Amino acid sequence: MFETIIEKIREHVTLSDDDAALLSTYLEVRKLRKNQLLVEPPYPANAEYFVVKGCLRHYFLDETGVEHTTAFAMEGWWMTDLQSFFTGAPSKYHVEALEEGEVIKLRRELKDEMFNKIPALNIYFRILYQNAIISQNERILNALSTTADERYLRFVKKYPALENRVPQYLIASYLGITPEFLSKVKTRIAAKKS
Amino acid sequence: MFETIIEKIREHVTLSDDDAALLSTYLEVRKLRKNQLLVEPPYPANAEYFVVKGCLRHYFLDETGVEHTTAFAMEGWWMTDLQSFFTGAPSKYHVEALEEGEVIKLRRELKDEMFNKIPALNIYFRILYQNAIISQNERILNALSTTADERYLRFVKKYPALENRVPQYLIASYLGITPEFLSKVKTRIAAKKS
DNA sequence: ATCCTTCAATGAACTATGTTAAGGCGCCAT
DNA sequence: ATGGCGCCTTAACATAGTTCATTGAAGGAT
């Protein structure tokens, strides 16, 4: 049942079979319908989710009713609203399933105990968060210093799978531009190639 | 010599006097001249720096010679190029002193041993990195979803001290706009108030 | 098949931001 | 004091991105 996640963890740290079995006792499987919300303001995000199958989206709904997509997650990625998960405060971001699928849920209140019993997981999660810092760093630089054309090109290069999986208006939202403008960007880029 | 840093750490975790004394053995004091570089590509960032006095700046120098400021640090803040510090890879960002000042240096190669001897510091640094994730999260949302006027207003509100301490063209660079446009933004905002 | 919904493409008018060039002010070295 | 230099401002014009309205294609429901 938990093969995928254990395999994924073993890419970063060594985990005995006993540890793997023990880990399973802290996890739960959850089926997802399309458009189902895993985190919904103002309820705190009380778990982290590992995507087994499907695609998630992290977004902020502003005062004017516009959604700003801040992250996607596909198979093998973790996601939650870390801001709320770390602090216990009410969540300000939504996490939504874009397709039907399946996630593995790790509850906040079990995590400390789990770390005590399986110390290797400390390292694993530390690496995850370090990677988050690094990629957010790059995203900030990109957002502030490059044009929409370039942001789109880098997105396609970095996440080719997403490009063909999520609707274009969500990609536009992730890039911080309007869907109409993304359409224009694409035709402009296509024109350049020839 | 290390009072400021110990005081700062004790805001987040409890640290015995013995631990504090032990901690001191892992730290070094470094005086800074104005414009001195603490991290310089491509040399790896092999330490983290705690600002005792002065002001630091984290920036990326792009292929066209333009600098993009990604962070500032003032008294009581930590800074380095985390991307390089975590991975050991060559740094891609500069860290520069904007004024003469003083930092406390914590070397990468000592950190694991220090964590083993003073476990409370694990928690302290975990909190630091969690806060980094949270604030970078907000910065991404801001960069992608708000106008320059709003970004500037939030900056002034969040870091009033910086506003009067670093030159305006660096603030513009941090906000992702040109100095000329920031000047326009400021006069526009001033006009609105009356 | 037909209707309805969702999403991508396009164009025109508008707003936000960048570029370039010029001038002013304060600071520092002579 | 003088001149030069670094930084801020202003203004005119150029480009990037938005808004709104329209159209068409694809898929789901009836």
B50-59: pLDDT as tens digits: 999 999 999 9
pLDDT, one tens digit per residue, over A131-177 is 999 999 999 999 999 999 999 999 999 999 999 899 999 999 999 99
| Residues A99 and A26 both lie in one domain | yes
| Residues B134 and B152 both lie in one domain | no
pLDDT, one tens digit per residue, over A109-128 is 999 999 999 999 999 999 99
| pLDDT above 70 (res B194) | no
Q: What is the pTM of this model?
A: 0.94
Sole residue written with tokens 């296509």: A190
Interface probe for A, chosen from B39, B83, B128, B145 (most Cβ of A below 10 Å), is B145
| Residues A128 and A180 both lie in one domain | no
Please give the Cα distance from B6 to A95 (Å, whole number): 38
| Residues A49 and A131 both lie in one domain | yes
Positions in chain C where some atom is under 7 Å from a protein CB: 6-12, 16-21
pLDDT, one tens digit per residue, over A2-28 is 999 999 999 999 999 999 999 999 999
| Residues B80 and B117 both lie in one domain | yes
Angle separating helix axes A3-10 and A17-24, nearest 10 degrees: 130
Which of A127, A145, A163 is the endpoint of a domain? Answer: A145
For the domain that residue A32 is a member of, what is the CATH number? 2.60.120.10
| Residues B110 and B156 both lie in one domain | no
Give the pLDDT confidence score for residue B191 in this predicted structure.
87
Please give the Cα distance from A39 to A57 (Å, whole number): 10
Question: How many other β-carbons are positioned within 10 Å of the β-carbon of residue B44?
Answer: 16
* Residue at A18: amino acid letter: D
- Which of these, B10, B5, B84, lies nearest to B47 by C-alpha position? B84
| Residues A192 and A107 both lie in one domain | no
Q: B115 is in which domain, residue-wise?
A: 3-145
Task: Flag if A140 and B145 touch (Cβ within 8 Å).
Answer: no
Q: Please check whether residue A60 touches B, CB under 8 A.
A: yes
DSSP A140: H
| Residues A163 and A141 both lie in one domain | no
With cut-offs at 50, 70 and 90, classify the pLDDT of residue B123: very high
The Å distance, CA of A173 to C1' of C8, is: 15
The Å distance, CA of B119 to C1' of D11, is: 60
Summary mean pLDDT of chain B:
96
Query: What is the rounded radius of gyration, in angstroms, for the C-alpha atoms of chain B?
Result: 18
SS3 content of chain B, % helix, strand, coil (to 5): 50, 20, 30
| Residues B185 and B156 both lie in one domain | yes
Smallest CA–C1' separation from A146: which nucleotide? D16
Give the pLDDT confidence score for residue B192 in this predicted structure.
75
Strand D protein footprint, C-beta under 7 A: A 147-149, 176-178, 180-181, 184-185; B 167-169, 179-180, 182-184, 186-187
Interface probe for B, chosen from A141, A147, A181 (most Cβ of B below 10 Å), is A141
| Residues A7 and A76 both lie in one domain | yes
